[in-house]
A = this chain, B = another copy of it.
């Protein structure tokens, strides 16, 4: 059932990584940092990702308190995800990670696209 969760290590590094670990979580958070989005919008904005994986990751991020899920009871259903107050505390950390990663990519001679714009 779980997408990335190992076995709840007491090491703070592992704890942090288990929250953002998962093939697409970084990308999802990056997209949502521009504002709330519907499930289908997110899906279309990351075409390489399947719907199944999107939903599994979203559910974990909601469980971890990083995202907020808001559902309008209409048909067809409309669900909007946004970064929670707690989730915003994660964003500066992602920025630090991203900064190092960008430098590392330069060092290893790779291109730098996708998430970082």
Contacts and interface: CB of A to CB of B under 8 A. Distances in A.
A103 B13 CA distance: 11
Interface residues of A, number: 44
B21 A21 contact: yes
Contacts of A96: 92-93, 96-97
Contacts of A107: 65, 86
A14 B110 contact: no
B11 A26 contact: yes
A115 interface: yes
A10 interface: yes
A15 B94 CA distance: 12
Nearest to A94: B13
